[in-house]
Structure 1
């Protein structure tokens, strides 16, 4: 597996690297530490000098990180690129044909509301590669389950096998979360069909949790408060510009609120 870990040398980005190492210990994995030097718009001479210094400082810090964390079968490399972080992280991940992007998030509740334009959220919006958002306080020692929130919709089928492969690599059990406003026979049948699909196509029988809630986000948060030893997985489909103006996808909304790692399937 090839993983991109954006590094800005903050505590939360280093925690994301440590989380990535913990998830993949013992497995053949390649991790690329990606540091983006943001362009400075100033006088030309000052800009050139500042960029040279930033490259030099970043190169030294990355080399120290590679030396410190290069343990076992996991290979660690580093890249320094210039430009807008979200655009360049996304571009690098696609150029290297990465399987996953793992990023740190701020604060006890994951991404804070004030960070609407943050790198992590913009990467989710721009990338075609799954993104794992890791809150600062997360530890792989606490993680036992991969909790997959599903609407039981057509667009989710393509993500099921990939989520199963992550669970297998990480040594986690899959459990399905389905939030509904009220129980119905049709929904019960759909979930039974989902269980049969897993058994037939994946060869795995997941635990299915059906929860009643007027609001999907609130329902998932309530479940996670009782089951904090989880990575939450959600499907994200890109919206048109008009949809973006009218509202957010649930996966992005969850990024602002959950205290567990969030795997966004795109």
Structure 2
């Protein structure tokens, strides 16, 4: 497995990298650490000098990080001139990566536009799974996995991706569905999903819970409020999910400021 980790050298990015290193060690995966920058100046000569300075400083910092990590995981790094999201997508598309791990909030001041708001863009546009890691979270703090399902056009492949990405954690899964009113057909689908998961992944532990809330995204937000030891998983099967996130404040809050790690799988 190959993991892509963007950084702006902020504490939040360092925390996401620590999460990625622990995950990669467990999965026997490799990490590519990527730093991107975008500088615009009036004079070409000035732009060239500034770009060289930025790249030299970034290279020194990336080498320091690599030395600090040591032999814990196989790690390399790339420096790309361009926006964060463009650098991530270009690298991911050209490198056959399996997962992106990044922080949810960036540094203040000059670095504030690098990591943070870009996380939502990456989640929205990325063709591969993304784990968004808030500053207060660590890999070791995760004790269970909460999987939110909408029970609309569930695909077998998306559950296989979930297990592939998380089975080495050996943690229990709780499959949750938030509904605004009782629905007989969804009850049947939920039961079928329970049978499918237990039959096809017998080595994994599953439990199932339905929540009733008029506002479904608010219900999910309330549910995870006190679940600081959890990883939240959401499936993005179509544009409807993405439109839902970016049109509703509560879901957007989960992307930007979630207090627990969020794994989005497509």
- Relative to structure 1, the CA distance from residue 224 to residue 96 in structure 2 (aligned partners, 3 Å threshold; closer, same or farther) is same
Shift of 1:176: 0.6
**SS of the residue aligned with 1:68?**
helix
Structure 2 residue aligned with 1:129: 128
| Corresponding residue SS for 2:189 | helix
* Deviation, structure 1 residue 41: 3.5
- Tell me the secondary structure at the aligned position of residue 25 of structure 2: coil
CA distance in 2, matches of 1:130, 1:22: 17
Compute the RMSD of aligned alpha carbons: 2.6
Q: Kindly report which structure 2 residues correspond to 1:20-169, keeping only aligned pairs within 5 A, or say none.
A: 20-72=20-72, 74-106=73-105, 118-169=117-168
Cα distance in structure 1, aligned partners of 2:239 and 2:188: 29
Q: Deviations over 1:80-128 (max 9, x none)?
A: 1111210110110121111100000128xxxxxx99x921111122210
Match of 2:263 in 1: 263
Query: Does the CA contact (< 8 Å) of 1:66 and 1:76 recur in 2?
Result: yes
| Number of matched pairs | 256
**Secondary structure at the residue paired with 2:225?**
helix
Residues 168-210 of structure 1: per-residue CA shift (max 9 Å, x gap): 1233222111001123433322211110111233334511111
CA 1:3–1:23 in structure 2 vs 1: closer, same or farther (change >3 Å)? Answer: same
Q: For structure 1, which segment, 27-36 or 226-235, has the greater mean C-alpha deviation from structure 2 after superposition? A: 226-235
Distance apart, 1:256 and its partner CA: 2.9
Give, in whole Å, the separation in 1 of the partners of 2:84 and 2:220: 30
TM-score of the pair, normalised by structure 2: 0.87
Cα distance change of structure 1 residues 232 and 87 upon mapping to structure 2, 3 Å threshold: same
Q: 1:149 to 1:250 in 2, by over 3 A?
A: farther
SS at match of 1:136: coil
Taking the aligned partners of 1:236 and 1:265, their CA distance within structure 2 comes to: 6
What residue in structure 1 maps to residue 6 of structure 2? 6
The 5 Å alignment of 1:202-221 reads 202-203=201-202, 204-221=204-221
Contact 1:133 1:263 in 2 (8 A): yes
Residues 164-203 of structure 1 correspond to what in structure 2 (within 5 A)? Answer: 164-203=163-202
Indicate conservation of the 8 Å contact 2:104/2:133, yes or no. yes
SS at 1:24's partner residue?
helix
Q: Please give the TM-score of this superposition, normalised by the length of structure 1.
A: 0.87
Instruction: Identify if the C-alpha distance between structure 1 residues 90 and 83 changes in structure 2 by more than 3 Å, giving closer, same or farther.
Output: same
Q: CA deviation at 1:156?
A: 4.4
